[in-house]
Amino acid sequence: MTPEATDLRGLDFEQGYIAVIDKPLEWTSTDVVRKIKFALRKIGYPRIKVGHAGTLDPLATGVLLVCIGRATKMVEALQAEEKEYVADVVLGATTPSFDLEHPIDRTYPTEHITREKVVEALRSLEGERLQAPPLYSAKKIDGMRAYELARAGGTTDSVELRKAPIHIYEIELQEYALPRIRIRVRCSKGTYIRSLAGEIGEVLDSGAHLSSLRRTRSGGFTAEKAWQLEELIKNLHEIETK
């Protein structure tokens, strides 16, 4: 079950393996799981269970834990662990999804924003609190995904998004070059960094959205020791058919 193994030969995937994947840009988490599951079927695991521990948006990259075989029993525990992200946030403009999935819908002034105010705003958002998910998210509302309701014509006024408890342990300002800032965030499960970007804009009496997002750590698993997806698939193809 060692995630850092580079030689997959001799492993019994049914016994359990955690593949730490550096999720590619524009791939969904489900796309990654489907790709790995198909490769495993080709090497003799036709009914093996494969799942991921913690969804990443298509426009996000970084650590995605893919649990294989008996490791799928660990999904809930892995999802509960602390996460770390590096995000680029553009101040002075919002989008309906709080990222670049949708075009800018409103612009705001930024002349009043200083580095000191940004640091103060970030500090004010640390700690335990309730957070509403983005309108375009996978949260279920009356049996439907929020993004399905939104794409059907819903708005933040017509769709009620229930807030959930989160804990933001630390937000560090890494770069300041208005209108863009780069932040590093350590947080609990269930934290939406897209929502956090919107909150940063509100605290600064402006608007904000994500221009990039990378999960650098999930629990003890880091991006530095993650598989590139195509590298993992290549290694699986080289395994002799069972």
Q: Which residues are catalytic?
A: 57
Facing residues of 34 across strands?
Answer: none
Residue 178 burial class via C-beta count within 10 angstroms: exposed 0-12, middle 13-18, buried 19 and up:
middle
Q: Which residue has the tokens 């790709």?
A: 35
CB distance 216 to 87 below 8 Å: no
The whole-angstrom separation of Cα 7 and Cα 71 is 18
The whole-angstrom separation of Cα 17 and Cα 177 is 42
Facing residues of 91 across strands?
Answer: 208
Q: Is the peptide bond before 96 cis (omega within 30 degrees of 0)?
A: no
Tokens of 32: 């990654």
Say what the alpha-carbon torsion angle 203, 204, 208, 213 is, to the nearest 10 degrees: -70
